[in-house]
Amino acid sequence: MLVKYSMAYVIFPGGYGTLDELFEALTLVQTRKVTGVKIFVIGTEFYQPLIEFLKTKLYYNGMIDIEDLNAIRLTDDIECVANEIEISLLNQIEVMKDAGLEDTKYYKSLLEFAEDKNIKQSTDEKK
């Protein structure tokens, strides 16, 4: 349920369980079981060797596509991550509105959350 309604996965340094969750998220995006989800990996120093492995072993040997590799956003900039998630939230609200889903409980909860957090105003100010 949590995965189904997520707009982003934010992965911090961790052990086997964290890697399991990261690769589960990557698999769901790769197989298009979930769409529109961004995967942020926080900790460039910690995760750079893993990203290099994915490039030099999986991508270069044709086991994943460039889109699969580009699904990962490696960063240390938490503010940038928060801003991108806010923009994704607003985009999802707009897509649902355009699809005529304004009466759904999910749409209303997203809209209420954005309004409570004043996300629209802060995102507009950043543009």
Per-residue pLDDT tens digits for 20-44: 999 999 999 999 998 888 999 999 9
| Residue-level pLDDT at 2 | 63
pLDDT at 122: 47
Q: Is the sign of the CA dihedral 53, 8, 85, 64 positive or negative?
A: positive
Residue 4 confidence (pLDDT): 67
Q: Which domains does the chain have, with CATH numbers?
A: 1-76 (3.40.50.450), 77-127 (no CATH)
- Cα–Cα distance, 66 to 47 (Å, whole number): 18
Contacts with 76 (C-beta within 8 Å, 6 or more apart), sequence order: 42, 43, 44
Res. 127: pLDDT tops 60: no
Cα 83 from chain centre = 12
Q: Encode pLDDT of 62-94 as tens digits.
A: 999 999 999 999 999 999 999 999 998 898 899
How far, CA to CA in Å, does 75 sit from each of 11, 21, 46, 90? 10, 18, 11, 22
User: Is the overall model pTM greater than 0.85, yes or no?
Assistant: no
Task: Give backbone dihedrals phi and psi of 126, rounded to 5 degrees, phi first.
Answer: -80, -20
pLDDT in tens, 105-117: 989 999 999 998 8
